Amino acid sequence: MPNSDQVSAQPPLIEVDPLAAREVRGTWHHVSRFTTLIAVIIALILWQAASVLHIFPPIALPSPVAVWRAFIRLLLHGYGGNSLFDDIWVSSARIAVGFVAAIVLGVPIGLLMARNAFTFRLIDPFLQFARPVPPLAYIPLLVVWFGIGELPKILLILFGTIPVIIIGTISGVKATPALRISVAKTLGATESQIFRHVILPSALPEIFTAMRVGIGVAWTCLVAAELIAADKGLGWLVQYAGQALQVAIVIVGIIVIGLLGYAMELIIRLLERRAVPWRGHN
Count Cβ atoms within 10 A of the Cβ of residue 5 and give its class: 0-12 exposed, 13-18 middle, 19 or more buried.
exposed
Question: How many C-beta atoms surround the C-beta of residue 180 within 10 A?
Answer: 15
Q: Rounded CA gap, 176 and 169, in Å?
A: 11
Distances (CA, A) of 10 to 14, 15, 39: 12, 15, 45
Three-state SS at 260: helix
- In tens digits, what is the pLDDT along the chain, a chain of 282 residues? 455 555 445 555 455 455 555 554 555 555 566 787 888 888 888 888 888 887 878 788 888 888 899 899 888 888 878 888 988 999 999 999 999 999 999 999 999 998 888 989 999 899 888 888 887 788 888 888 887 788 888 899 998 899 999 999 998 888 887 888 788 878 877 777 878 788 888 888 889 999 999 999 999 888 888 877 677 888 888 888 888 888 889 999 999 999 999 999 999 989 888 887 776 555
pTM above 0.85, yes or no: no
The vertex-159 CA angle with 157 and 165, nearest 5°, equals 90
Count Cβ atoms within 10 A of the Cβ of residue 69 and give its class: 0-12 exposed, 13-18 middle, 19 or more buried.
middle
- Specify the CATH architecture of the domain 65-275: Orthogonal Bundle (1.10)
Closest CA to 209 of 93, 87, 110: 110
